[in-house]
Amino acid sequence: MMQELFEKNLTHLGTPTWYSRNEEIFVEGELATGIFKIKSGCMRTATVLSDGRRHILSFYLPGEFYGLEAGRVYSVTGESVTRCKIHMFRKNALFEAADDKIAMRLLMIAASELSRAQKHSLLLLRGAKERVVGFLLDMAERQNNWQQVDLPMTRGDIANYLGLTTETVSRMFGRLEDSAAIAIERRRVTLCDLPALKEMYK
């Protein structure tokens, strides 16, 4: 109910925009003027490390928000993974219109972002197989589907996000498929043995 109020009452503060695949939505260092909601498709956030390597920090799926930055500028770059529709709420106008319900929703968005970052940090402490399994379980939870998971991103993007090589990710997928824990058809993964997958990620 709160999310419906957040969107229905504030749609005049921004407009939905379509982005092509691999298009920049906002750039690291730019003034953080908006809060983004993914309406369809998938976006990712990335940053460039001090040694010049590019690192993917998160993926965002339909219904999820990004943009509540602590500072005045975006700390990462946002890019479309697929063709996607994104609604940008103008931050200044949003704060001016905020009431208790909107403030609570913004707090929930910030808490969700913090939780996602913490999960990612803990995931990177695991072994390669556990990272891949953890990623699949996280995507299943976020898509609210414990039978099949759609992976709109490439294996290379998954590898970058998990701190692995593309070859390692492909090998882990192959091992999980060989053990009948999952089945892969293009970019859709069927979770054939969910209890086994959860046991692997304990």
Count of Cβ atoms closer than 10 Å to residue 2 Cβ: 11
The CATH number assigned to the domain holding 189 equals 1.10.10.10
Placement of tokens 């407009």 in the chain: 15
Instruction: Report the chain's mean pLDDT, rounded to a whole number.
Output: 89
Co-location of 81 and 178 in the same domain: no
Strand order in the sheet with 188-191: 148-150, 188-191, 182-185
d(CA 197, CA 4): 34
Residue 186 has pLDDT above 70, yes or no: yes
Structural domain containing residue 167: 128-200
For 107-151, the pLDDT digits (tens) are: 788 888 888 889 999 999 999 999 999 999 999 999 999 999 999
pLDDT of residue 94: 72
pLDDT of residue 2: 44
Placement of tokens 């956030």 in the chain: 45
In the chain, which ranges are E strands? Answer: 16-19, 24-26, 34-40, 43-48, 54-60, 65-66, 77-80, 84-90, 148-150, 182-185, 188-191
For 73-108, the pLDDT digits (tens) are: 999 999 999 999 998 888 777 777 666 677 777 778
pLDDT of residue 89: 84
Of the candidates 59, 88, 122, which is a domain's last residue? 122
Number of domains in the chain: 2
